[in-house]
A and B are shown apart, each in its own frame.
Chain A
Amino acid sequence: MQLETSVQSLKMGTEESELGGSIKAGSGRMLDRKNRLLFYNRSFKIACIASASFVCLVLFSILFFMFRTGVLTFRDVPMATFFFSTDWSPENESYGAFVFIFGTFALTLLTLLISVPLSIIIAVFMAEVAPKWMRNLLRPVLDLLVGIPSVVYGFLGLTILIPLLRNITGTNMGDGILAAAIVLTIMVLPTISRISDDAISVVPRKYRDASYALGATRFQTIFKVTIPAARSGIMYGVILGMARAIGETMAVVMVIGNTPQLADALFKPTSVLTSNIVMQISNVPFDSTWNNALYMMGFLLLVISLLMIVLVRLLQQKGAHR
């Protein structure tokens, strides 16, 4: 009995070594193929690493270029003047970017004020109220809307919204921060509502069941249970919408009026960081202070948008810990 097992194990051992030997001997087409496959495998991995590093390289060279050109501004313009002066007239060597910084924040805030309530209502409608067929129809439609080019929204704003606003106010001032905020609202609405819709949909069913079992109506369940539970997902959507609103260029350029004055009224032509850059950058020589100031404004935008990503990351971590 013992002998038999030992013989068997010996046999298996020899079989294994025979197989190993034939591979080690390095003969036959099988082996070439193996080497080739391993070589392809390794070079593919290296190519993948290279492309991943390339993506990082792009981000860092953007940061580097924007900073290097932007920081030259402060050679000619004091920092306090750049950030806090409202006088932007490059022809007279005065570069105060406060108007644009303020405009960007005011516009984003106004956009969020209009778009967040509307988006949450649509998200609640899609996730909780609408019948199933309607939900299946609406989600792809909203996904489609995210892809409509911004210049088309700007065009609509220019040809439809501004004449309408002029009629309503009865003046011939239509363009300004309100018009831009309405156009941006239409643009960020699909983004925020789709992400909030996903966040509301993944709230566990048992929460809702528990709330109904306590005798709550649907209204109470949604406002006191579902939305608080989906809070971090909704915040994520709002921040993404905000990033889009801050960085949006063409739609804003077409309706905001492009005049460097402080946006202290809803119907007053003004300008934001993005619109000012795109309107002026083509007309200035590369080495001028004017150009450097525009790059500094771009660098500001870049920093704001990167800060938002850090915020999103923190939110996600908080959501994961809960």
Chain B
Amino acid sequence: MKSATTGTRGMFTSDRGMNNFNNRMFTFFVWGISACIILFICALLYLILQKGLPSLTWDFIMGLPSEMEEGGGIGPALFNSFYMLLISLLIAVPLGMMAGIYLAEFAPENKVISFVRICVEGLASVPSIIFGLFGIALFVEMFQVGLTIIGGAVSLAFLNLPVMTRVTEEAIRAVPQDMKQASFALGATHLQTIRRALIPTAVSGIVTGICLVAGRAFGESAVIILTAGVTTSGEMWDFNLLSPGETLAVHLWYVQSEAIVPDAVSISDKSAAVLVFIILMFNILFRIPLWIKERKSR
């Protein structure tokens, strides 16, 4: 009898008291570590916002930066951030969506298409600095335009193109087949089906993707430093595509590590707060309506 029990000893039958103790320790441990990490991260976010937001003034947000004296603002950098974001989205979103729709809807299942998928995935994993180097080779060397807003925006668009493609493909694939078949049965063409049935159903995924891409473009700095430079044209509302285009994220780095203004610490505190605040706003504005919609439909 005894030998039988030892023979069938599974991996779970060791000392029971020890097991219970381990289990309790483990639960305690997991709760403890997780609580620590989450509190730590929340504290970091709070710290950024709390250091910068209270001392924020309108003069700072709209003001011109200064090279030497105190009291420089972030106006042109902030404007460039939005301007470049807009241009890069105008390029990346339509192209990325169409490529995603092709992969989800039109593409046949063969070797070429699976190679295209690997390309998209590969491009999505290319480090951002490589897009910066590519931007230099393309705009500074080949087209000889120097460090410009358009160069930065196009490089950013390249960075975001594969992400947009993948997100769109996944969102469209997730639409139930019934929808598509019902639309075809009503005599709709493929384009009509995509426009009227597939995209409206997949809109939640696509908007989340655009939000992700926009946040990434807004906060990206390595690409911008290489392709659009670390200076602004020095005036507000400069829509010229060929002027240098430092963005807010770059300004944060530049002020902290290169600039010689005496109030660098306070400028970078405030810039960081503005940057994080805007990213949080993007997410809150676009994603919370979608959550609520999903909760309701569930």
Contacts and interface: CB of A to CB of B under 8 A. Distances in A.
Contacts of A281: 132-133, 136, 226
B162 A55 contact: yes
B3 to A, nearest CB: 20
Nearest to A248: B127
Contacts of A121: 29-30, 33-34
Interface string A234-275: 000000100100111110011000000000000000000010
A159 to B, nearest CB: 8
A125 B30 contact: yes
Contacts of B11: 220, 224
A306 interface: yes
Given A62-B130, A309-B121, A218 B102 contact: no
B191 interface: yes
Residue of B29, B102, B249, B283 with most partner-chain A CB within 10 A = B102
Interface string A206-249: 00000100111111101010000000000000001001001111
Q: Name B's interface SS.
A: helix
B99 to A, nearest CB: 4
A129 B215 CA distance: 31
A46 to B, nearest CB: 10
Contact of B127 (A45, A61, A148, A301): A301
A313 to B, nearest CB: 7
A65 B137 contact: yes
Nearest to A146: B212
Interface string A288-322: 00000011001001100110111011000000000
Interface of A: 37-38, 40-41, 44-45, 47-52, 54-56, 58-62, 65-66, 69, 118, 121-122, 124-126, 129-130, 138, 140-141, 144-145, 147-152, 154-156, 158-160, 186, 189, 211, 214-220, 222, 224, 240, 243, 246-250, 253-254, 274, 277-278, 281-282, 286, 294-295, 298, 301-302, 305-306, 308-310, 312-313
